[in-house]
Chains A and B, each alone.
Chain A
Amino acid sequence: MPLTRRDKLITYLVVGPFAIVLAFPFYWMLQTSLKSDLDLYNVENVPFGFGDGSPTLDNYRFLFEDTQYARWLLNTVLVALAVVLITLVIAMPAGYALARLSGGWGQTLGVGIFLVYLVPPTLLFLPLSRVIAELGLQDRLASLVVVYPGFTIPFATWLMMGFFKSIPRELEDAALVDGASRLKTLVRIVLPISLPGILTVVIFTFALCVNEFVYAIAFITASDSKVVSTGIYTELIRGDVFYWGALMAATLIPAIPLALLYNTFLDRFIAGFTGGAFR
C-alpha cells in the first residue's frame, strides 16, 4: 500500500535524524582520516574543513604500507569464516534435534543457552589460555578458531532451533512416509528451506567474531597473526602517542563492507529470524 505524502514526510523526519546520529561518528572518522597531522592537531583549525596538508591519503598509505593492516584484515576474515563453518556444522544438527526430537528439553536448553552468555570473558580467558597452550595453539590464529565457537554455538543453536520449529512437520512427515530416513530428510528437504535461518546464523556469528578482542589480545602476540581489533592497538598506539588519523582510517575500512553485507542480506536475515525465533 503506497504511503500518503504526509506519511512519507513523517517517515523521513523520523528515520533521517536517527540515520544521521548513528552514522555521524563514521563521517567523523572519514573526515579525520583524510587530514594531515599538521592540520589535525591544530586547535585553531576548523575540524569540518581541511587545513594545510589536507585532504591527504597519507594515513591510508601508512596503514597499508607501514603496518600489517592488510594482513590483519585477512586474518579477521579467515577466523570469522572458519568459525562460521564450525558453528554451522555443530549448531544446525543440534538445533534440529532440539526442535524436533527432544520434546520438552528444547525449552530448558534454550534458557540454558542464554545463561552461557552471562559469564564475562574477562576472566574466562585465563583458564582458556591454559587449554590453548596445551593444544599447542598459543600465538596461532587457530586458537581463536577453537575458542570462538564456544560463544557462537549456543546462540546459533537457539536460532536454528526456533527456525526449525517453524518449518511445518508435514513436510518432513511426507518424506518419511515415502520411506526416506530421517537423515536423508534433514539434508534434502529441510536444508534448502532453512537457507534464511542459515544466513541469520552466518551474519550473527560473523559479527560476534569480528567484535571479540579480549581473547585475541590474550592468545596472540605475533604481529602477523593479529586480527584487526588487536593489531590496531599495538601498532597505532605507541606508549602515549596515538596515531589518530590512521586509527580512524583503520576503523572505517572494515565497517563499510560489513554494513553493506548486512544490509544486502537484511531481508533474508529477518525472514530467518522470524522463521521462529522463539515459537
Chain B
Amino acid sequence: MEVVAVSRRRRRHLLEERRFLAAALIAPAVLFVGLLVGAPLILSVYLSLTDATAGSLTGDFVGFRNFTEQWSDPNFRTALRNTIVFTLLANAIIVVGAAILAHYLVRDFRGKWFLRFLILLPWAAPVALSTIGFLWIFDSLFSVVNWVLIHLSLVDEFNPPQWLGEPNKALAAITTVHAWRLLPFATVIMIAGLASIPKEVDDAAKVDGATGLRKLWYVTLPLQLPIATIAVLFGIVFTATDMAVVYILTRGGPFNSTQMLPMWAFQTGIQAGSLGQGAAIALFLLPALAVVTVLMLLFARRVEVT
C-alpha cells in the first residue's frame, strides 16, 4: 500500500515537473511538423545540390551549380523580380484597404452583417476555384470586364485589352487576384487589432480632443502597428509562396513574363523534369523570406504598446 502510494505521488510529481510536462505537451507538435515539413525540406535541400530528374529522389552531386546557373537564366530573374514586385504591390493594396475597411467595420450600422458576408466571400472560396472564376472574368473573348469597357466605348471592340496576354496587364491581373483574395483576411485581423484597443485609451483620446484624423494618426495607427505587421507578414508569406494563382491564370505567360518563383520551380522541376534545378529555385527565396520574417516579428514586438 505504502509503496503504491509513494510511486503514485512520484508519478504525479513528474507530471508536475514543469520541464517534463512542457516537453511532453510540445513533443507531438514538434514531431509532426518535423516529419512533415522538416524532413522534406532537408530532402529538398539535398535535391537542390544534385542533378536529379523526373521525380527521382536521388541524383549525382553537383554542388551549388543549380543555384549559380539560375542567374544566367532570364526567366529566373523575371520570376525573382515578379515575386518581389507582386508581393509588395499586392500587400500594399491589402494593408491600405484592410485598414480603411476595418476602421469602418468596427462600427455598428444597419446591413453590417450582410456587407460583412459579401466581404468575406473571397477568402471563403477555395483559391483554386475562385481563380478559375477570374480566368473567366479575364477570358480572352468573353471577359465581362472587356464587355463593359467596349460598351462604354472605352476600348476597341476588335482589339480589347488582353488582361492575361499583355505583360503589364497580366501583372495587374495577378496582383488584383492576390489582393482580392487576402483583403478579407487582413481586414479581419485589423478589426481584431482595433477591437483590442482598450476603452480607456479611446476615452482618453476623446478627453484630449483627438478625433478623426488626429486620432487615427496618433492613437489608432500606433496601436494597430503590431497587428498590422502580423497581417502584412501573413500576406507576404501567402503571396510569395503561392502557386495557384499564377498556375491557373497565366501559367507564367505571356512568354513567361509573369512567372513567380514557386511557379517557375514547379515548371522546371516537375513539368520539365529538371528536379534538382526546381528544388534550387524553390529554395532561393527561403533565406530572404526568413530574414524578412524575423525582422518583422521583432519589429512587431518592439512597437507593442502595453
Residues of A bordering B, CB below 8 Å: 3, 7-8, 10-12, 14-16, 18-23, 25-26, 28-29, 32, 40-41, 43, 47-48, 90-91, 93-94, 96-98, 101-102, 107, 110-111, 114-124, 126-128, 130-131, 146-147, 149-151, 153-154, 157, 181-183, 207, 210-211, 213-214, 228-230, 232-233, 244, 247-248, 250-251, 254-256, 258-263, 266, 269-271, 273-274, 277-279
Pick 24 A–B contacts, CB within 8 A, sort by A: A3-B108, A12-B109, A26-B121, A40-B142, A43-B142, A90-B28, A94-B28, A94-B30, A97-B23, A97-B26, A101-B18, A114-B297, A123-B265, A128-B36, A154-B33, A182-B16, A232-B129, A248-B136, A251-B132, A255-B129, A259-B123, A277-B227, A278-B226, A279-B306
**Distance between B86 CB and nearest chain A CB, rounded to angstroms:** 14
C-alpha gap A13/B123 in the complex (Å): 22
Q: Is B290 an interface residue (CB 8 A)?
A: yes
Per-residue interface assignment for chain B, residues 116 to 157, with 1 indicating a CB less than 8 Å from any chain A CB and 0 otherwise: 111111111111111011101100011010010000000000
Q: Would A149 and B32 count as touching, CB distance under 8 A? A: yes
Q: Would B25 and A207 count as touching, CB distance under 8 A? A: no
**Distance between B120 CB and nearest chain A CB, rounded to angstroms:** 5
- Given A3-B107, A96-B25: A251 in contact with B32 (beta carbons within 8 A): no
Q: Would B192 and A229 count as touching, CB distance under 8 A? A: no
How many B residues touch A, CB cutoff 8 Å?
103
Q: Give me the 5 closest cross-chain CB pairs, A-B, nearest first.
A: A150-B36, A255-B125, A93-B25, A101-B22, A94-B29
Q: Would B116 and A266 count as touching, CB distance under 8 A? A: yes
Residues of B bordering A, CB below 8 Å: 12, 15-16, 18-19, 21-23, 25-26, 28-30, 32-33, 35-37, 39-41, 43-44, 47, 55, 57, 97, 100-101, 104-105, 107-109, 111, 113, 115-130, 132-134, 136-137, 141-142, 144, 147, 180, 183-184, 188-189, 191-193, 195-196, 226-227, 230, 233, 237, 240-241, 243-244, 261-263, 265-266, 269-270, 275, 278-279, 282-283, 285-286, 289-290, 293-294, 297, 300-301, 304, 306
